[in-house]
């Protein structure tokens, strides 16, 4: 059949229209598909409105399991049942102290890089001890006491809180809160809007420093003016019948310290009656009420700072300091520690309910861990035939000095001994024409024979040898070449330099390194693992949730298996 020219032209036009319609339809379908993918991706990758980091000061992992039957379902168990439980989480460095612990959680690295090698350490340049958060270039805000002269300036690296501030162009807020200054300051990072800590003594006030502001916000002033803190100066008795506290030792024993003004370390404690002999408001720090005060203030901060109220993720860094004070005083097997954790469980429930109401369930992400754990009281361990003991630092120093005087004919070769590290007088050693390495080795060979010294290493070996396993790796991860000492020694397991009552921490052994790690809320799967995780993995994991840069010296890895 033959078509006329007009018919051919009309057919071409129709074909063109059909092709155009097909193209437009395909393009729209692709756009819609792309939009759907984008929307789906936005839903999956949407950032939480608020990150809440919780560090419990001196919490052993087995406090989760030991007291499990006594916990309710709104605190620790809510995190476990709805979130992810890393059951084999450890510190991967020593010393396991509060300052390094909080710093490592938030920087994702170890003292080798972030520089916070202890709560206090000997500064080799100025030849005196310094405090991890101390800063005499700033002034106190909220008190005339020097307790406010603090800042994070000695921390050498960024935290994930810093990275979130940078990522959001400083629109995402960071607030740090703890009874201890270092527990508030170091997690909050260098760029925090504020860090607040509790000044007890005769004041009982939340304070800060001019590093952050020149005067307290109205909401803090209002909280300090309330009767909230004073209301906790009351009787501390067990939350439940003490006869049901079968997961801890007898209430009256010889392994606990107790409070001044009370003959026995037994319940109940009339805090109002004995406060003047125990630092007035400071006594609250060594009771579970210190955790309650911290929770009260944290909930006030969420309102006062409008946290989680806009599109920019905020961070609230909370440290519960009281368990450390209680543990140091009464020991990890005490009724007092058990009651402190049962009450902390209630405070966590109260915090989570507050977050549900103020920020919205599913709009926030929480992690909970500890800055270190603690050893059983060695005197108690000895009573049940477990090897343990006490290290006499005075005898150790006398023997070491006598050895150096005999070998080198000098009493000036050691500047100080701090944090199980010996700092040598390098100028004197150079003046005498002695090789530093030889002096370090001589001391190592000498002290390894001393009672309760398990291992000893030279600073040069820490700087020049790469250790990948064992205690040696942990020591190296905690060794900062510029700030650490010339000789490092390790005490026998369950041997401490401390009083014969109460517990302490600081070692590389499991009783100090094994701590909880719970994730819960937005972006977190439900589950658990016995796979080994490290404290340095927390900051990269939170950074991954937020889609931000890792802290600048982070050595940990994101825990992909906890992410939803």
Residue 495 sits at φ, ψ, to 5 deg, of -110, 130
Going by DSSP bridges, is the β-strand pair 89-90/533-534 parallel, antiparallel, or unpaired? parallel
Structure tokens at 539: 């900051």
302 contact partners, CB below 8 Å, separation of at least 6: 50, 308, 316, 354, 355, 358, 359
User: Is residue 86 within 8 Å of residue 529, measured between CB atoms?
Assistant: yes
Q: How far is CA 53 from CA 69, 130, 386, in A?
A: 25, 27, 36
* Catalytic residue selected from 42, 43, 65, 98: 98
Closest CA to 258 of 242, 232, 236, 240: 236
Antiparallel, parallel or unpaired: β 517-521 and 50-56: unpaired
Residue ranges in 115-189 assigned as alpha helix (H): 160-167, 181-188
Instruction: Kindly report whether the peptide bond that precedes residue 221 is cis, defined as omega within 30 degrees of 0.
Output: no
The answer to whether 151 touches 135, Cβ cutoff 8 Å, is yes
Q: What angle do CA 366, 372, 373 make, to 5 degrees?
A: 105
Residue that is written with structure tokens 């977190």 in the block: 524
What is the DSSP-derived secondary structure letter of residue 360?
Answer: I
**In 10 A of CB 13, how many CB atoms?**
10
Known catalytic membership, residue 98: yes
Sign of the CA dihedral running 452, 458, 463, 466: negative
Rounded distance between C-alpha atoms, residue 153 and residue 457, angstroms: 30
CA torsion sign for 137, 142, 145, 151 is negative
Question: Catalytic residue positions?
Answer: 98
């Amino acid at each position: 059949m033959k078509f006329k020219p007009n018919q051919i032209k009309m057919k071409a036009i129709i074909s063109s229209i059909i092709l155009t319609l097909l193209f437009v339809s395909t393009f729209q379908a692709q756009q819609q598909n792309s939009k759907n993918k984008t929307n789906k991706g936005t839903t999956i990758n949407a950032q939480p409105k608020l990150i809440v980091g919780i560090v419990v000061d001196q919490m052993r992992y087995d406090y989760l399991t030991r007291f499990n039957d006594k916990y309710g379902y709104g605190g620790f168990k809510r995190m476990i049942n709805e979130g992810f439980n890393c059951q084999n989480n450890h510190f991967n460095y020593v010393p396991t102290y509060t300052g390094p612990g909080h710093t490592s959680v938030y920087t994702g690295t170890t003292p080798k890089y972030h520089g916070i090698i202890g709560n206090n350490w000997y500064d080799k340049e100025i030849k005196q001890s310094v405090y991890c958060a101390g800063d005499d270039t700033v002034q106190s805000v909220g008190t005339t006491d020097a307790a406010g002269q603090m800042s994070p300036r000695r921390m050498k690296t960024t935290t994930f809180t810093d990275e979130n501030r940078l990522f959001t162009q400083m629109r995402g807020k960071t607030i740090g809160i703890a009874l201890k200054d270092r527990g508030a300051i170091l997690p909050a990072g260098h760029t925090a809007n504020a860090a607040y800590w509790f000044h007890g003594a005769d004041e009982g006030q939340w304070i800060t420093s001019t590093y952050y502001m020149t005067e307290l916000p109205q909401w803090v002033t209002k909280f300090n003016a309330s009767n909230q803190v004073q209301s906790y100066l009351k009787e501390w008795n067990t939350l439940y019948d003490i006869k049901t506290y079968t997961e801890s030792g007898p209430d009256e024993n010889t392994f606990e310290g107790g409070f001044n003004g009370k003959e026995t370390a037994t319940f109940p404690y009339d805090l109002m009656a004995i406060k003047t002999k125990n630092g007035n408001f400071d006594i609250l720090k060594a009771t579970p009420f210190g955790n309650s005060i911290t929770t009260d203030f944290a909930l006030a901060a969420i309102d006062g700072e409008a946290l989680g109220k806009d599109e920019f993720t905020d961070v609230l860094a909370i440290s519960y300091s009281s368990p450390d004070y209680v543990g140091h005083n009464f020991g990890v097997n005490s009724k007092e520690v058990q009651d402190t954790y049962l009450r902390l469980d209630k405070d966590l429930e109260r915090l989570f309910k507050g977050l549900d109401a103020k920020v919205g369930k599913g709009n926030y992400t929480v992690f909970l861990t500890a800055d270190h754990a603690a050893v059983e009281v060695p005197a108690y361990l000895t009573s049940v035939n477990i090897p343990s003991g006490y290290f006499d630092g005075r005898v150790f120093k006398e023997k070491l000095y006598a050895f150096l005087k005999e070998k080198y004919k000098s009493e000036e070769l050691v500047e100080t001994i701090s944090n199980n590290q010996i700092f040598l007088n390098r100028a004197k050693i150079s003046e005498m024409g002695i090789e530093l390495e030889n002096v370090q080795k001589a001391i190592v060979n000498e002290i390894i024979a001393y009672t309760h010294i398990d291992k000893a290493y030279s600073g040069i070996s820490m700087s020049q040898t790469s250790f990948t396993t064992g205690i040696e790796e942990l020591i190296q991860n905690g060794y900062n070449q510029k700030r650490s000492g010339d000789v490092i020694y390790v005490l026998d397991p369950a041997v401490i330099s401390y009083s014969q009552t109460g517990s302490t921490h600081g070692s590389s052994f499991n009783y100090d390194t094994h701590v909880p790690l719970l994730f819960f809320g937005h972006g977190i799967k439900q589950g658990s693992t016995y796979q080994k995780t490290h404290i340095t993995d927390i900051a990269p994991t939170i950074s991954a949730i937020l889609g931000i840069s890792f802290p600048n010296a982070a050595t940990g890895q994101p825990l992909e298996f906890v992410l939803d």
